[in-house]
Amino acid sequence: MKRNIKLSDSILKNQVTQIRDPVHGYIYANELECKIIDSPVFQRLRGIRQLASAHLTYPGALHTRFEHCIGSMHLAKRASNHLKAQEIIDEEMSNELSIAALLHDIGHGPFSHLFEEVLHEKGMTHENITDRIIKETEIADILSSFGVNVKKFSNLCIGVSKDHPRFMNDIIAGFLSVDSMDYLLRDSYFSGVEYGKVDVHRIIDAYEIAGKKLAINKDSLYALESLMIARYEMFRAVYFHKSVRASAVMITRAMNLSDDELQFTDLNNLDRFLELGDEKVLYNISNLNITNENTKLAKKLAIDYTNRKMLKLVFEKIVLGKDKFSTKVFAQRKFRENLADEIAERSNIPKSHIFIDVSTATSVPTTSTKESFNEITVLLNKTRKKEFETTKATELPLMNAILGYMNIIRIYTTARYKKKLEIIVKEIFEKEVS
């Protein structure tokens, strides 16, 4: 039975619990937020590591989607307080923002973005699953009991709502989103690297609204530049680290090869999907009993992953900007398949032991879809009639040097074939670039 309570009612103003977070300090949650956090659907995020396999290279990177979502909620509250002070949003919109930030990643599957690569083969994304979880599980019941229109609200959680102002979507999933700011701080902290230390409070306190778009005060552009550089460095040093990608390729291939047998991506049964976590998937693959070529290799990869017997890198090329090599290398999956076929034929190495990894992202990635960051709206002055200007990203100091694309092609193999494959691959790529 609905309680017909608006999100602005006093029951939500009372912070009923506090959570001690190593990144943000104390985080406070109200009754509705606590009910969501305590639900089994949300608690499953404890079993999904934020950086998937990166802990095999950076041992401290064991943090999960659970604490990242709570951290995003905290930053959304900070953003809400800033916008409420300017009378841009009211209490109900403020609560919607914090709950949307809390739920924005609830659809992630095991191994986070690595499972996304498996889903991509099926034409799905974790946002599709987030939408379903919010509408079809106990989360819907919890939200409905507080008078929330679940169908409309689920779109805000993935940043595509037409029933809310655009800037609210931007705060959840845009370039200046609380999601991206929390993961930079959190990933940097737990990985033990220095690159992600960004003054996110300064950026949030510089939020402005231009029409319906999220903008930033020009006096805080230096903090924005720091954010962009931090993202670039985190991709180079952590997310696309050669050893991180080696383990990622292994577990992604293992999930793909075993999907027909274990049905990870069969979402007709949502409850079965919600039972999956990193360790359960790894266990299931490692204990496959069905023996065919695919499952044999999947099982070997999973066991080697567990024992940290990583694939061996035999070739690497970083492509920046307009490198003539990039258009061919990064065209489509078909190119990679043809390249694997050629390498296998020339080397007499089984194609199943040739792993081509293409890590493609803008140098300054913006969202999970890695759209390029081209421009930003800035506030020029704070007079009664505010003046805004849209500035090209390349006109920001220091940015022209790193904007564009950073593509990395790597070829891995198992230890058995490393020396042989190095020779063949070198011959092939020397021919390609000559």
- Give the tens place of pLDDT for each residue, 320-346: 654 545 544 544 567 778 889 999 999
**Residue 335 pLDDT:** 76
Average pLDDT, stretch 119-140? 90
What's the fold here for domain 10-242+364-403?
Answer: Hypothetical protein af1432 (1.10.3210)
Intra-chain end-to-end CA distance of the chain, in Å: 71
Residue 88 has pLDDT above 90, yes or no: yes
The CA-based angle 371-270-107, given to 5 degrees, is: 30
Between 174 and 327, the higher pLDDT residue: 174
Q: What angle do helix axes 150-157 and 166-173 make, rounded to 10 degrees?
A: 50
Q: How confident is the model at residue 369 (pLDDT cuts 50, 70, 90)?
A: very low
CA 5 to chain centre: 33
Residue 120 has pLDDT above 90, yes or no: no
Q: Is the pTM of this model over 0.85?
A: yes
Count CB neighbours of 63 within 10 A: 22
Nearest Cα neighbor of 370 from 231, 248, 250 is: 231
Express each pLDDT in 247-281 by its tens digit.
999 999 999 999 999 999 888 889 999 999 999 99
Most confident of 208-212, 376-380, 384-388: 208-212
Instruction: Give the number of residues written for the chain.
Output: 434
Residue 41 has pLDDT above 80, yes or no: yes
Most confident of 34-48, 344-358, 410-424: 34-48
Tell me if domain 10-242+364-403 and domain 311-363+404-434 are identical in fold: no
Residue 234: helix, strand or coil by DSSP?
Answer: helix
Q: What angle do helix axes 150-157 and 126-136 make, rounded to 10 degrees?
A: 150
Phi and psi at residue 405, in whole multiples of 5°?
A: -120, 140
Which own/partner contact pairs does 283-290 have at CB distance under 8 Å and 24+ positions apart? 284/258, 285/254, 285/255, 285/258, 288/258, 288/261, 288/262, 290/261
CB-based contacts of 20, cutoff 8 Å, min separation 6: 26, 27
Are 212 and 161 in contact by the 8 Å Cβ rule? The answer is no
Between 331 and 217, the higher pLDDT residue: 217
- β-bridge pairing 213-217 and 312-320: unpaired
Distance between CA 318 and CA 416 in Å, rounded? 26
**Residue 241 pLDDT:** 93
The CATH number that domain 311-363+404-434 falls under is 3.30.1370
Nearest Cα neighbor of 275 from 432, 63, 53, 40 is: 40
Count CB neighbours of 265 within 10 A: 19
Count CB neighbours of 236 within 10 A: 15
Weakest mean pLDDT among 225-239, 263-277, 355-369: 355-369
**Residue 332 pLDDT:** 58
Provide the residue ranges of all domains of the chain, joining segments of one domain with +: 10-242+364-403, 311-363+404-434
Distance between CA 257 and CA 298 in Å, rounded? 6
Q: What are the structure tokens assigned to 111, written together? A: 């191994």
